[in-house]
Structure 1
Amino acid sequence: MQHVPYVGSGPYCYANSFAMMFGDQAPSTAVIEFATGSPFGMQLIGGSLPFFDPYGWDPEAGFEGALEALGWTSETSHGEDAEDALSRLRSALRDGPVWVGPVEMGHLRHQPGMTGPIEADHYVVVLALDEERVLMHDPQGYPYASLPIGDFMAAWQAKTLTYGAPFTMRTGFRRVAELPEVDMIRAAIPAAIHWLQMTTDRPMPPASFGNGEAARLLADRLDGGCGKGLRAHLIHFAVRVGARRTADAATCLARAGYREAALVADEQARLIGALQYPLVVRNDRAAAETLRRLAPTYDRLLSALRNR
């Protein structure tokens, strides 16, 4: 079956936020996401929390390499003091929009149903700030969203997130190399190989696993039934973003001439996407079988990228 690139909604908050900061010089969000390394692996953190992204990876781990591959640079600042952070934000906004995150999504009360921390990370582009409210483009689907400063600062402190420093923002976005998108993709291939190899010095909780082993262990867990929290995490976030990432990886790899790797990434996208329905209708054994079919694809993708 022919690979068809995906275009549509989905939880691509930092890729969309970067694209907004790049303006009319932005590459596609598929290329931005590819450059972060996110499609290249799977992890099961602490034996219980699955993500379809590399072992030891989080968004902050991929940003600097992504910007370099894309031909961009920016300046990052963060700190513990809320008053200083707000002052830095006001000052930076004089030069234009500011990229902010990670933030705790549960404090973004302009999103329906958000009433407090849910331990979910997010990224936004802040446009303006007055004495009472913050104006932002929230790539979750809320352009020109307005939020009271107190709620925004609680979100920006990122106190309930497992990665990132409080009050982090990026400014001074500058294009340092004019590259065709295909060259951006090729520049990101070494990072893809690195992440698939699961070689990381980033600390991981005990009983954390990656790639095929992560897929098999999650399948074993689903055989015993999927708990409410795990199911919600999978069907509302992890499967959706995982399928899109790998679909975008297949598109990018094909564009750059990595035909065999593109075929494997497309297979991964189809398998991850196929998890959504059985998990929603609680056919956990079917989802477990799909995960077992996914497990060997990570070694195959690594081999295809290495041996091209």
Structure 2
Amino acid sequence: MNAYIGNGAYCYANSAAMMLAAKGETIEPGLLEVVSGFSLGAHLIPSGLLFFDNCSETPDSGITRAMELLGFRVQHRVQEEGTALPLYELREALDQGPVMLGPLDMGKLVYNPNHNNLGGCDHYVLALEIREHEVWLHDPAGFPYVCLTLEQLNEAWKGGVFPWSPGAYRFWSGPERVEQLDVKELHQRVLSWFRETMQNQYQTKAAESGRTGKQAILHKANQIRDGAIDMDEWSHYVYFALPVGARRAHDYGSFFKNNHGQLSGLKYKQSRQFGECQSRLAARHWQAAADAMEALAETEAAIEEALLQL
């Protein structure tokens, strides 16, 4: 399988990797993304939008779990909605090193020239320092050393936008290695987590109503075949869900390569299917896109079965 090196919507994994790098720890974003377990599974949200991730977890819980599984202790803090910007706490955390912030509303990140078109999209960044009335950031979406006023930061970070991330002003800081794991120990620990998170998905309300896994993907394939998606939904798939799904599946394939050949092969296969589906859908070849998504559904079912048997 050919390696993929390039851009991808890995905002929380990239931000966490940068935070760890500031402490002298080199952890690849792809490993953080995989170990989080968040991008296992598929589900339809109530509006009918399909996401290729686990509805029993969130990026917030996933990245915290990933760092714990990799042997790090990290401070994870969140405020209640409606409270004031925790400026003292942020300054105090920044005295110890860079701080990961999120989720932020991308529509409020005014240094991004396309921010007006990104309202309601969640994002994670790395805060570097506060100078007077501005905070300086590394934004992994392609914007190193950018700044926001504290008022602009407050607007982007104050919460209330993403129902899956309760509270406001969530941040991670002060990572510290507390365990040094060998490859075998890490894989055993992570495989146990994957099985648990997949079992958890089956216990959600989405699973009870047939909105997870193979059934969710087949439902969307049928809608695509009938031309029953609008351009906003089309954009969600061709710009985000399918390309990031392809990259995630490829990284899972690499992770499983030396310890679980069946899952590695299935994930590499799924990565190719994500890419094909994105290509067909971007070209508005609806029937071919639906065929590719149906194939993706079958592979998802095989992956779930293999994970549950670990």
TM-score calculated relative to the size of structure 2: 0.91
Equivalence for 1:138: 139
Structure 1 residue aligned with 2:52: 52
Deviation, structure 1 residue 95: 1.6
Check conservation: 2:64, 2:76, Cα contact below 8 A.
no
Q: Is the 8 A contact 1:107 1:116 kept in 2?
A: no
Pair 22,108 (structure 1): closer, same or farther in 2 beyond 3 Å: same
Which piece of structure 1 moves more, 213-222 or 129-138? 129-138
The structural deviation recorded for 1:5 is: 2.6
Q: Are 1:125 and 1:136, in contact at CA under 8 Å, matched by a contact in 2?
A: yes
- Name whichever of 177-186 and 281-290 sits farther off: 177-186
Contact map agreement 2:32 2:63 (CA 8 A) in 1? no
Residue 212 of structure 1 is matched in structure 2 by 214
Alignment RMSD = 2.2
Distance of 1:220 and 1:253 partners within structure 2 = 31
1:96 maps to 97
The answer as to whether partners of 1:253 and 1:259 remain within 8 angstroms in 2 is yes
Structure 2 counterpart of 1:37, one-letter code: G
Gap regions ≥5 residues in structure 1: none
User: Contact 1:47/1:208 (CA < 8 Å) preserved in 2?
Assistant: no
Conserved 8 A contact 1:56-1:203: no
Q: Structure 2: which amino acid aligns with 1:19?
A: A
Of 235, 259, 271 in structure 2, the residue corresponding to residue 269 of structure 1 is 271
Q: 1:150-197 CA distances to partner (integer Å, 9 max, x unpaired)?
A: 221111113222222210111221111122456434321122223333
- The CA distance in 2 between the partners of 1:64 and 1:228, in whole Å, is 34
Aligned match of 2:37 = 37
CA distance in 2, matches of 1:78, 1:38: 20
Give the whole-Å Cα distance in 2 for the aligned partners of 1:203 and 1:84.
Answer: 34
* Contact map agreement 1:271 1:294 (CA 8 A) in 2: yes
Across the two proteins, how many residue pairs are aligned to each other?
305
* Structure 2: runs of 5+ lacking an equivalent: none
Pick from 12, 23, 30: which aligns with 1:14? 12
User: What is the SS of the residue equivalent to 1:122?
Assistant: strand
Which structure is higher in RCO with an 8 Å CA cutoff and minimum separation 6?
1
1:117 to 1:9, Cα distance in 2 relative to 1, 3 A:
closer
Go from structure 1 to structure 2 and tell me whether the alpha carbon gap of 1:145 and 1:186 turns closer, same or farther (over 3 Å shift).
Answer: farther
Runs of 4+ in structure 1 off by over 4 angstroms are 200-208
The TM-score normalised by the length of structure 1 is 0.91
Distance 1:173 1:89 in 2: 15
